[in-house]
Structure 1
Amino acid sequence: MKGNTLNVMFFILKNKLLKNGEAPVVLRVTINGQRDEIRIQRSISVELWDNAKMRSKGRGRSSAELNMYLETLKDRIYVIHRNSVYDGERLTPKKILDILYAREGRHLVLKAMKECIDGWSASPGDLHPATLARYNRCCGLVETVIRDVYNKEDVAFSELDKKFITAFERYLKETCGLARNTAAKYLECFRKVLKVAQHKGWMEDGRCLEELGRLCVKEETFPSFLDWDELRTVMETDMPAGRLERVKDVFVFCGFTFVALTNVCLIINKLQTNNRGIGNGLETTYLHHFA
C-alpha cells in the first residue's frame, strides 16, 4: 500500500565524535521518501562499527548489548508501523519516533539543566556570574558521569538512581580531586536542578534528592586570621606593579575593617557594570584570587 513503505537504518556520525572519542549512533526512519532521525544516546568506536550490517562488529559485552538494543529498537518500530497499518493510520517518520521515545513527554536531565542555566543567564542579577560559571562546570561534569554510568549522551529524570548520585560524588572527589565542601557546592547545583524537575512533575522519585541532600552537608571550617605582625608584613611588602599595590591596599583595608574580600569584589564588579571606572578587569581577577 502506498505510503506504508518503511525503511529503518542505523549509522554513526564520524565527524561529530564525543569527548570520549566515540561516535554517536543515529537512528533514521524513512517512509516513502520522508525521513526523520534521532541520536539513540549510544556511542561506539568508529573502528568497531560495521556500516554495511549497521551494527557493531566487536566481540565484547558492550558490543553485544549495543547490537541487542539496536535490534530491539528496530523490532519496536516495525510493531508501531504494523499497528498503524491495521488501524488504517498513516504515520510519519517523526510520529513513529515520537511514539518510540515518547519524545513529547520525555524530559532529559542535561537538556533541562542547560535550559535552567540559560534561563538564569537571561535574568541578570538573579545569580552572580561566578555562580553561573559553577553551574556550567557542573553541567559538564554531570554529562561526563552520565556517559560513564549509562553510556548515553543524556538520560531521562526517571532513569536517575542512587548509583548515579554515588558515581557523581566519587567522580568529584576522586577524579577531580575536589575537597568535601567544594564537591558539596557542585552537588548542591545539581540538586537545585532536580528540585526544579520535581516541582514541574518530571521526576516523581525523590530518593535522589534525599541522597543529594545528605551529601550536600558541608564540613564545618575554622578560618584563621592574620595577626598584627603578618598584616604589617603585607603592608610593608613592595609590589612590582601599580595594580598589585592597589590590590594589596584593598586586602589591608579588609584586614583592618573585617569587611569580607568577596564583598569588596562584588562592589567593584557592580561599579564596573555601572561604568563608574573603578578598577579594571585584571585587578578584579587578582582580588577574586585572594578571596
Structure 2
Amino acid sequence: MQTSRTFSIHFWLNLAKKKDDLAPIYARVTVDGKRAEISLKRETSVTYWDAKSKKTSSRTPEGKELNAYLDQVKAKLLLCYKQLTSGFELVTSNSVKARFVGQDEEHKTLLDLVLYHNENMQGKLKEGTLKNYYTTEKYLKRFLIKKKKTADIYLKHLNYSFIIDFEQYLRKGPSLQNTSPLNNNGIMKHLERLRKLMNFAMDLEWLDKNPFARYKLKFSKYKKEFLSKYELKDFREAVIDNNGHQIVKDVFLFACYTGLSYTDVKNLNESNIFKGIDGDYWIFTRREKNEQPVKIPLFDIAWDILKKYSSYSEKNNGQLLPVYSNQKVNVYLKEIASSLNINKNLTFHSARHTFATTVTLSNGVPIETVSKLLGHTKISTTQVYARVLEKKISDDVRLLKEKFRVSFRQDDGIRRW
C-alpha cells in the first residue's frame, strides 16, 4: 500500500537579514508538514517582491533573470523529490534538501570520502598508517588541481582512466618535497591506499561500481637484505670504539636474535620480560603493527644485551634499550657494515629477516614456529622473510642421499630406488 505524501515548495524573503531594501531569498521545502530551508545565495528588493506569486515584480533584465532562476530551482527541487520517491528511498524535507545541495550519497565527492575515512579511522589505524593516508590525500589534491583542473570530483565520476591518470601523474611528477619522482613501490602504496578508500566507499554504498575492479597493483620485488651466518658472527664480534655505533650494533643484534621490529624493540619495557614454563626468560609483548601477541624465548646473546643496559632501564622508566631514530639507526648500520666489509644495504628491518632466515629457519626451526615468533597471522606472510638458503638445501639433500645409500646397502646390492 503506497503512502500518500504532501510536498510543497515555497520561496520567501528572510527579512531578519534585510539590509536597506535588499533581503536574501530562501526556498522552503515541506514534506508531510516537516520543513527544510535552503539559502539560494540571491537577494532582491523587498519593494518589488510579490508575496502572492513568490517572485519579483521588477521588469528589469535582472528581475527577469531572477524569476527564471527561481523557476529552475523549483524544477530542480521537484526533480529531487521525484528521484527519491522513484528510488524507494526515505523521503523527507531534509533528504530533498541534501539531494538539491549535493550532500547526499548520490553527490559524495572523493575528498568527502577521504575526510570521512580519516575521521572515522582515528584510533582504529596506527598513527603511522593514518599519516600515510594524509600523504596520499595531498597527492590526490595536487593531481585534481594540476591535471583535472578542479578542487574535487564526484565519486560517481571516478573510473578506470582516473586511476591510470593518477598513476602516471605520480610517475612523472615530483614528490611532495619537489625531489625526484616516487619509485614504483611508493606509487603502488598510494594506489593501494586509494583502492582501500574505494572499497570503503563501496561498503558505505557511496559507489555503485569500483573503479579498481580491473586494475592490478604491480609491486617490484626487491632483494631483502639479511646477514649470513658468517656476517652475523663478524657483526657480533666486531670491536667498535664509537659509542653511538656500539649502541646501534647492540640493539640491531638484539633484534637479530628476537625477530622484533624497530617499533617493538623501542617500546620494549621491563614489564615485557617474564620467566617461561622452562624457567628461562621470555619476551611477552604485542606487536605494534597488528596487535598480535608474541612470546619469544630469549637467547643468551639477547639476554646479555639487556643486562648490559640495565642501568639505562633504571633511569628511563623501565625502557629496556636506548633506541635512536629509525633514520639515524639506518645510517649507523650502513657505516658499521662498511667498516666490516659487509657489502649489503642494511636497515633495521634486516634484523627481522636475519632472525627468520639465518637464526631460525636455516637451523631447522619449522616455519610454523617462526611464524609464531614473528607475530604473523598467516604462514604466507612468513614466507616473505623465510629464505631457504643454498646451504640448507645442500644439507637437506645430503641427508636424503645418505638415507638412499643406507637403503642400498641394506638391500643386499639390489637397488630399489
User: Which category describes the TM-score, using the shorter chain as reference length?
Assistant: 0.5 to 0.7
- Check whether the contact 1:269–1:284 (CA below 8 A) recurs between aligned residues: no
Residue 186 of structure 1: which of 152, 174, 190 is its match? 190
Residue 81 of structure 1: which of 73, 82, 85 is its match? 73
1:193-232 aligned within 5 A: 193-206=197-210, 208-212=211-215, 214=216, 216-227=217-228, 228-229=230-231, 232=234
Residue 319 of structure 2: which of 253, 262, 277 is its match? 277
- Check whether the contact 2:136–2:193 (CA below 8 A) recurs between aligned residues: yes
Find out whether 1:249 has 2:243 as its counterpart. Answer: no
Q: In structure 2, what is the Cα distance between the partners aligned to 1:198 and 1:76?
A: 39
Find out whether 1:31 has 2:25 as its counterpart. Answer: yes
Residue 166 of structure 1: which of 145, 155, 164 is its match? 164
The aligned residue for residue 131 of structure 2 is: 133
* Matched AA of 1:185: K
Q: How big is each residue's C-alpha offset from its partner over 1:214-242, in whole Å with a ceiling of 9 and x where there is no partner? A: 1x23222322333435863683343354x
Bigger Rg over Cα: 2
* Matched AA of 1:248: K
Q: In structure 2, what is the Cα distance between the partners aligned to 1:281 and 1:31?
A: 64
Q: In structure 2, what is the Cα distance between the partners aligned to 1:122 and 1:220?
A: 32
**Which 10-residue stretch deviates more, 193-202 or 220-229?**
220-229
- Compute the displacement of 1:245 (Å): 3.2
Give the secondary-structure state (helix, strand or coil) at the position aligned to 1:209.
coil
Q: In structure 1, what is the Cα distance between the partners aligned to 2:70 and 2:114?
A: 34
* Matched AA of 2:148: Y
Q: How big is each residue's C-alpha offset from its partner over 1:35-67, in whole Å with a ceiling of 9 and x where there is no partner? A: 8489xxxxxxxxxxxxxxxxxxxxxxxxxxxxx
Paired residues, what number? 215
- Compute the displacement of 1:161 (Å): 1.9
Q: Decide whether aligned partners of structure 1 residues 158 and 85 sit closer, same or farther in structure 2, where only a CA change above 3 A counts.
A: closer
Q: Decide whether aligned partners of structure 1 residues 83 and 128 sit closer, same or farther in structure 2, where only a CA change above 3 A counts.
A: closer
- Compute the displacement of 1:158 (Å): 0.4
- Check whether the contact 1:165–1:211 (CA below 8 A) recurs between aligned residues: no
RMSD between aligned residues: 4.2
1:145-156 aligned within 5 A: 145-156=143-154
Q: In structure 2, what is the Cα distance between the partners aligned to 1:96 and 1:111?
A: 19
* Matched AA of 2:25: I
Give the secondary-structure state (helix, strand or coil) at the position aligned to 2:121.
helix
**Structure 1 stretches of 5 or more lacking a match?**
7-28, 39-73, 87-93
Q: How big is each residue's C-alpha offset from its partner over 1:224-264, in whole Å with a ceiling of 9 and x where there is no partner? A: 333435863683343354xx532221113334x3725xx24
TM-score where L is the length of structure 1: 0.58
- Check whether the contact 1:80–1:96 (CA below 8 A) recurs between aligned residues: no
- Check whether the contact 1:108–1:155 (CA below 8 A) recurs between aligned residues: yes
The aligned residue for residue 67 of structure 1 is: none
Q: In structure 2, what is the Cα distance between the partners aligned to 1:143 and 1:209?
A: 19
Q: How big is each residue's C-alpha offset from its partner over 1:85-108, in whole Å with a ceiling of 9 and x where there is no partner? A: 99xxxxxxx999855543233212
The aligned residue for residue 404 of structure 2 is: none
The aligned residue for residue 103 of structure 2 is: 103
* Matched AA of 1:153: A
TM-score where L is the length of structure 2: 0.42
Q: Decide whether aligned partners of structure 1 residues 3 and 143 sit closer, same or farther in structure 2, where only a CA change above 3 A counts.
A: same
Q: Decide whether aligned partners of structure 1 residues 267 and 115 sit closer, same or farther in structure 2, where only a CA change above 3 A counts.
A: farther
**Which 10-residue stretch deviates more, 278-287 or 144-153?**
278-287
- Compute the displacement of 1:192 (Å): 0.5
Q: Decide whether aligned partners of structure 1 residues 153 and 259 sit closer, same or farther in structure 2, where only a CA change above 3 A counts.
A: same
Q: In structure 2, what is the Cα distance between the partners aligned to 1:120 and 1:103?
A: 21
Aligned-residue identity in percent? 16
- Compute the displacement of 1:83 (Å): 4.3
Find out whether 1:117 has 2:153 as its counterpart. Answer: no
Q: Per residue, is there more helix in 1 or in 2?
A: 1
* Matched AA of 1:277: Q
Q: How big is each residue's C-alpha offset from its partner over 1:145-167, in whole Å with a ceiling of 9 and x where there is no partner? A: 12223322221210112232112
Q: Decide whether aligned partners of structure 1 residues 276 and 132 sit closer, same or farther in structure 2, where only a CA change above 3 A counts.
A: farther
Q: In structure 1, what is the Cα distance between the partners aligned to 2:76 and 2:207?
A: 31
Q: In structure 2, what is the Cα distance between the partners aligned to 1:85 and 1:145?
A: 33
Give the secondary-structure state (helix, strand or coil) at the position aligned to 2:156.
helix
The aligned residue for residue 47 of structure 1 is: none
- Compute the displacement of 1:180 (Å): 1.6
- Compute the displacement of 1:138 (Å): 0.8
Q: Decide whether aligned partners of structure 1 residues 246 and 198 sit closer, same or farther in structure 2, where only a CA change above 3 A counts.
A: same
